Amino acid sequence: MNCKSVGEQTKNAVTITISAVLMLVAVAAFGQKKITSLEDLPEMGEFKFQGDDIVLPLTEKGGHPKVLVELATDEVFPFIVDTGASVNVIDIAIAEKMAYEVVGETEIGAPGGAQIPGKIVRVPLFHIGDATIKNAEFVAMDINGFSMGTMQGVLGLRLFEDYLLSFDLSQGVITVSKTKLSTGTTGVMSYPAGSDKIRLDVDVAGTIVPAHIDTGSMGEFLFPVEIIDSLPLKDVPQTGAQARLVGGARDISFAQLDGTIHFAGMQFKDPNLTFMDPSPGAGNIGSGVFGELVMAIDQKNHLISFTQPQGRDDKDQNDKPRRLGLGFRGVPGGSEWIVSVVSPGSLASNAGIQAGDKLISLNGVAAEEYTMTKFGPLFKSSTPLEFVFERDGVQQTNHIQ
């Protein structure tokens, strides 16, 4: 097959991505020097634990991979483990309360958008499970407000660079191990060195697109808008509500591919695709693609594997969470929930829900009573859903069984 290739954009400075809450963080300065290489990124600190491995239970199954982080005060906070993040992030209110030392400054924002001043702080000690981490550096920002209270921080991929990091999202666990992956083993593949992210080439109906593996995204396939004209699509891309990014918003659209995506030995026939404009230049593969697999990352050897889970009975294999094909855009600190994306052919689409619909209530409970954390388990369950939306000033009811 003759495949076309879509290259990543070239940048003069390092771009830090934190994809857990749909934001991009571009670091302009650290201390008194310009960040021009990965060596200039904030330090990850000293990560140690006893034994061969530790198992970190997630705070919820089927949602973002959040673990409880215990600070020196014995307080615990939910932090997301995000393979799409270059750095660690902590909510600025926690950093100020703990009086963490400020060791540098940064500017935070999406490429091409407004830049917001930020700080780099050093956290002298924290625990995740049975692991102890000393002197790790974090970007301090209002992530609690931006994520609408769903998380207080992000643990970036580089924090685990000395270990094998395995995600079993369907079972709600992350394992950190002192073992390593080996080439030649089924399901193991290499990825390019010299980057702070995991990038794999994806064959999208004959067009090769570089894409990052992103546990911070609960979506499936997101690609740069620039490749739309090179893809066979079943329909004209539909525009959804804007995605919120730090420093500005981005337009998103979606369409169904008329063809097959080949990725990591897997095939996806006629999948739904999301496009972002402007884009960071590469695609994004979220947990909607690999969430039912076990994904292991060996950063030392630049290897990654996707394998079927072992020892699951038939009930576990068939008991997959419901997917509505529905995304919301909220207002930090507010009470509005606006439909941002409805995937073509999804349960939400078949129920008549459209992008731009404003949620009034769900199952008789007012919209302002909900959070992202409450939405996730409810949407994935078998509970019948009765939505009341407002569209063009008129209320309507939509049902999903």
Q: In sequence order, what DSSP letters do the residues of 326-385 get, joined into one string?
A: EEEEE-TTS--EEEEEE-TTSHHHHTT--TTPEEEEETTEEGGG--HHHHHHHHHSS--E
Whether pLDDT at 160 is above 80: yes
Q: How confident is the model at residue 248 (pLDDT cuts 50, 70, 90)?
A: low
Amino acid sitting at position 154: V
Q: What is the pLDDT of residue 11?
A: 32
Q: Render pLDDT for 297-310 as a digit per residue (tens, 0 to 9).
A: 999 999 999 887 76
Q: Which of 252, 271, 276 is nearest to 261 (CA)?
A: 271
pLDDT average, residue stretch 219-237? 90
- Residue listed under structure tokens 């990543």: 8
- Give per-residue pLDDT as tens, 297-354: 999 999 999 887 765 544 444 555 677 877 776 544 445 788 866 766 778 888 998 8
Average pLDDT over residues 41-49: 82
- Per-residue pLDDT at 378: 83
Per-residue confidence (pLDDT) for residue 227, from 0 to 100: 92
Predicted confidence (pLDDT) at residue 115 exceeds the cutoff of 80:
no
Comparing C-alpha atoms, which of 356, 374, 309, 388 is closest to residue 60?
Answer: 374
What is the rounded CA–CA span in Å between residue 343 and residue 355? 10
- Alpha-carbon distance of 343 to 308, in angstroms, equals 26
129: confidence class by pLDDT, cuts 50, 70, 90 = very high
Q: What is the pLDDT of residue 164?
A: 97
| Full set of structural domains in the chain with CATH | 12-163 (2.40.70.10), 188-293 (2.40.70.10), 326-400 (2.30.42.10)
Pairing of strands 88-91, 153-156: antiparallel
Winning range, highest mean pLDDT, from 25-29, 241-245, 309-313: 241-245
Please tell me which of 81-85, 121-125, 242-246, 368-372 the model is most confident about, judged by mean pLDDT: 121-125
Residue 102 has pLDDT above 90, yes or no: yes
Q: What is the mean pLDDT of the chain?
A: 80
More confident: 186 or 28: 186
What is each CA distance from 137 to 41, 196, 351, in whole angstroms? 9, 16, 46
The predicted pLDDT at position 36 comes to 40
